[in-house]
Amino acid sequence: MASLIWHPIRRLLFGPPSAPSISFDPARDIPSLAGKVILITGGAGDLGKALAIEHARHGPAQIYIADLAQEDNGEAVIRSIRESASLPPAGDGGVLIKFIDVDLASFESVRKAAGRLRAEIGRLDILVNNAGVVLMRNEVSVDGYELTWAINFMGHALLTKLLLPTLLSTASQLESSDVRIIVVSSEGHAMVPRGGIAFDQLKTPCKDISYVHRYGQTKLALILYAKSLSLLHPEITTVSVHPGRILTGLFRRLQKDSKLFKYTALITPLFTTSVENGVRNHLWASTAPIHQAKTVEARDGAAATGNSDNKSPNLGVVVSGTYYEPVGVTGKESALAQDEALRVRLWEWVEGELDGQVTGTTA
């Protein structure tokens, strides 16, 4: 029990060994996003909304905000994004921003949201699987999965699988196409049950697993899943990112519900950063130059060395299959996040679970 409490405190206070961050200024370094269609899950929350605002400033064609249903159908969220990005009122041209209801804890809701998206869009350039929760309570979802696992991992896995045909179609339109999947993980991926993922308990409330470990295994799974996607679909750049320690709504709720976080509330400002700073890793991963590797081996080499094949080395290079800490820092994943056997086991497990949820789609 002592190690369970001390490990997250040590990570929060001191973090992993320092590494040089890439110089990245969103206002200066994000290129034009003209013509791009972007989908952000959890887009009504702190990080997702900040991401949408910054993307909107660079002129994409459409931004879809996917989140839990709102009483006003997301109008307040859309209005806030438009105002913060200094966009003209809706209907006056420019970036089109839409809200789409989705409950990631429900396969039915995910299928419905994906169906609407496929009906409305002819392309999808950037998918940001950003939504996430930390839940103190032990519950299962409507589909029978531990609730944190259902929301953070299963919902995103199904959404991605359903949208893969659109992503792949977009990637095939031009040789220069730049299609990306950004998976939001966390340094918390290192705080997991024994073995990394408790496969035998994922369809239970996981009552003997702490909320820290229940959350951690979802974030580990997201890193491994992103790596599998990058290997199977090299035409899409798929990476996982840690945004940093940010005082978001999720963190504030933990301070109310968790004794651990409540007791550290007074020193929280010492080791957290603003949402505006925290979203920079999302922004860098979704817009910085990508590595044009032709083979998995070349990509792996670039990820390990930080080598760039573009003319802006100060921006670094986004390498598919890589886990990044802020901003663009590699080599911070745990040993389990690099475990090939675990990656394969997870992929085979989730593909089996999603079998029947998707018609006519292969991954």
Active site residue 161: no
| Whole-angstrom distance, CA of residue 137 vs CA of residue 210 | 10
Distance from CA of residue 73 to its chain's centroid? 23
Integer Cα distance of 36 and 128 in angstroms: 13
Q: Cα–Cα distance between 287 and 107 in angstroms, integer?
A: 30
Compute the distance between CA of residue 54 and CA of residue 358 in angstroms, rounded to an integer. Answer: 33
| Catalytic-role residue among 36, 49, 161, 219 | 219
- For residues 196 and 198, what is the distance between their CA atoms, to the nearest angstrom? 7
DSSP code string of 296-348:
HHHHHHHHHH---SSS-GGG--B-TT-EEBTTTB-S---SGGG-HHHHHHHHH
Q: Are 69 and 44 in contact (CB under 8 A)?
A: no
Which pair of tokens denotes residue 155? 């919902």
Q: Is 347 left (phi over 0), alpha (psi -120 to 50) or beta?
A: alpha
CA–CA gap between residue 186 and residue 179 (Å, rounded): 23
18 token code pair: 């320092």
> Residues 64, 211, 215, 323: which is the catalytic one?
215
Identify whether 215 is a catalytic site residue. Answer: yes
Catalytic residues: 215, 219
